[in-house]
């Protein structure tokens, strides 16, 4: 069942490790990578830049349709630099505030529709690894392999806490758990494309696994389906 443009989707809540795991799997396979969350984050930043309210669906739809975003690969194996209107926003979009704003714009059906074809355009040979919330359910329902990562809220908050500490950013662990649960609730309960596993997704609970172990689990699924890949 090998096709010219196979897709491997990795969905899950924030802090399940899907971003880093997706990057590593894409590098191992030599496939293209789409971090769909980055698109929602860039859109939220564009809204802020142009003074558009996060609830203004018609204006956000127009902004999404014309979003001038570029994913610039600088080095293989390293996340691409992300440019909004030519300006490097790689770091700016990674804050908790932007994650929350992205989650808010992600509740709007017109925004999701406007971003669909842009996401599907990443499906190019030799293949695509993509991570997000609805990659396996809505954007690439015919993906060859669908992974759904889970982890407890406590473990996800702890990972985020360590990441922020490393960057020298002081945060409170309980606040992080609260914010995370609020974002989960919004992402899971929205009317369109809510965060949930596709019926044919393989679930991996990452609580007690290292990143390398998660990558290895996914690679073993890839090997089962694509016997030519080692
Ligand atoms: O994966 P992330 O933390 O960068 O995503 C930020 C937010 O963007 C997430 O809370 C909800 C939204 N999002 C979405 O609605 N659909 C996606 N496929 C990816 C992200």
- Give tens-digit pLDDT for 151-180: 999 999 999 899 888 888 888 899 989 989
Query: Each residue of 117-145: pLDDT tens digit?
Result: 999 999 999 999 999 999 999 999 999 99
**Res. 2: pLDDT tops 70:** no
Ligand 1 near 160 CB (within 6 A): no
* pLDDT tens digits, one per residue of 41-70: 999 999 999 999 999 999 999 999 999 999
* pLDDT confidence of residue 170: 85
Supply the DSSP string of 183-209, one letter for each residue.
HHHHHHH-SSS-S---TTPEEEE-TT-
Q: State the chain's mean pLDDT as an integer.
A: 94
How far does the chain reach from its first CA to its final CA, in angstroms?
16
Residues whose CB is less than 8 angstroms from the CB of residue 92 and which lie 6 or more positions away in sequence, other chains included: 45, 98
Residue 62 has which token pair?
A: 């127009």
| Residue 155 Ramachandran class (φ > 0 left, ψ -120 to 50 alpha, else beta) | alpha
Identify any residues that bridge with 128 across adjacent strands, giving them in sequence order.
Answer: 7, 32
The reply to whether ligand 1 has any atom less than 6 angstroms from the CB of 9 is no
Residue 81 has pLDDT above 80, yes or no: yes
Instruction: List the domains of the chain with CATH numbers.
Output: 7-223 (3.40.50.300)
Inter-residue long-range contacts of 79-87, CB under 8 Å, 24+ positions, other chains counted = 79/19, 79/23, 79/35, 80/33, 82/38, 82/42, 84/42, 84/45, 84/46, 84/49, 85/46, 85/49
- In this prediction, residue 229 has a pLDDT band, given cuts at 50, 70 and 90, of low
Task: Indicate if ligand 1 lies below 6 Å from the C-beta of 16.
Answer: no
User: pLDDT-derived band of residue 228, with 50, 70 and 90 as boundaries?
Assistant: low
The residue whose CA has the least distance to atom 9 of ligand 1 is 103
Asked if the bond preceding 215 is cis, omega within 30° of 0, the reply is no
Overall pTM > 0.85 = yes
81 φ/ψ sector (left φ>0, alpha ψ -120 to 50, else beta)? beta
| Ligand 1 pocket, residue 123 CB under 6 Å | no
Nearest ligand 1 atom to the CA of 131 is 18
C-alpha to C-alpha distance for 204 and 214, rounded to whole angstroms: 8
What's the maximum distance between 2 C-alpha atoms anywhere in the chain? 51
């Amino acid at each position: 069942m090998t096709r010219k443009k196979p897709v491997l989707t990795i969905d899950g809540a924030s802090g399940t490790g899907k971003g880093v795991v997706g990057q590593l799997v894409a590098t191992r396979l030599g496939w293209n990578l789409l971090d769909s969350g980055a698109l929602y984050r860039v859109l939220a930043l564009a809204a802020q830049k142009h003074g558009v309210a996060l609830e203004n669906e018609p204006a956000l739809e127009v902004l999404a349709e014309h979003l001038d975003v570029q994913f610039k690969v600088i080095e293989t194996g390293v996340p691409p630099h992300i440019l909004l209107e030519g300006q490097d926003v790689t770091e700016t979009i990674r804050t908790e505030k932007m994650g929350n704003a992205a989650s808010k714009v992600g509740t709007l059906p017109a925004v999701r529709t406007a971003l669909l074809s842009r996401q599907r355009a990443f499906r190019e040979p030799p293949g695509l690894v993509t991570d997000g919330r609805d990659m396996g359910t809505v954007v690439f329902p015919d993906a060859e392999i669908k992974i759904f990562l889970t982890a407890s809220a406590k473990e996800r908050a702890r990972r985020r806490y360590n990441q922020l500490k490393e960057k020298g950013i002081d945060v409170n662990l309980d606040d992080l758990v609260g914010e995370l649960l609020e974002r989960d609730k919004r992402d899971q309960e929205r009317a369109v494309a809510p965060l949930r596993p596709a019926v044919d997704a393989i679930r991996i609970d990452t609580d007690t696994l290292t990143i390398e172990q998660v990558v290895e689990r996914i690679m073993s699924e890839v090997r089962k389906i694509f016997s030519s890949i080692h």
